[in-house]
Structure 1
């Protein structure tokens, strides 16, 4: 059985000047910083959200590059572990969780190289559930 998703969690966006981009997203889209995730902004993403918290973008500063937007889907702790096993089974390769201190993520790509992420913010619970996954 394929595990369920909660929602689309966030979309990765790249900007050559993150400060200018943050201002644009505030002025045009009404997106503001997510205070709980600001610690990531030093070297990582600056997470912005709409006023209701239903739309998130992870704004990375990087040189101009081809669009490689990452679609991130949110799940609970148990679903995260189930998705890891499901991906290992389907992709026939290891899929290692990445610890972001505030969340865990699984990264993979479709056959055309389009990147995907499955993420959970139930960090402490996942840390207790993770076990090596065999192929």
Structure 2
């Protein structure tokens, strides 16, 4: 039996322009540069670490040539937060997020400017999202 895991520490995200990506993630998802780890971004090929205000959501932005992404970063929220995210993303994104009914969950699907796919999901089936 393997040892237990505490949490997902961070997720690697590959972007063509890290400066532009940092602005997008700050504006759309509210993620900010982690000052204590900013030195890694100065190393050749090193990541720029961004996170939410609690540190619960942490991404490592690596500047690389564009390549197809086969993984999706899924973020969990409450039903009330889902409404807020749906409204926010409809205002902030050039293409509205795709709403999907998974029978036990609702999900919003969208991509960053480098085509990295994201999902925001809630298991609160008592709510009815816009467009459902």
TM-score of the aligned structures, taking structure 1 as reference length: 0.49
- Give the superposition deviation at 1:36: 1.2
- Give the superposition deviation at 1:66: 2.2
Within a 5 Å distance, the mapping from 1:55-134 to structure 2 comes to 55-67=57-69
Question: Unaligned 5+ residue runs, structure 1?
Answer: 72-135
Describe the superposition over 1:42-67 as per-residue Cα deviations: whole angstroms up to 9, x where unpaired.
22000000011101000001110122
Within a 5 Å distance, the mapping from 1:10-89 to structure 2 comes to 10-42=10-42, 43=44, 44-67=46-69
- Give the superposition deviation at 1:2: 1.2
More helix by share: 1
Aligned length: 71
TM-score of the aligned structures, taking structure 2 as reference length: 0.50
Q: How large is the Cα RMSD of the aligned pairs?
A: 1.9
Question: Unaligned 5+ residue runs, structure 2?
Answer: 74-132
Runs (4 or more) in structure 1 with deviation over 6 Å come to: none
Compared with structure 1, are the counterparts of its residues 68 and 58 closer, same or farther at alpha carbon in structure 2 (3 Å cutoff)? farther
Greater RCO (Cα-Cα under 8 Å, separation 6 or more): 1
SS at match of 1:64: coil
SS at match of 2:13: strand
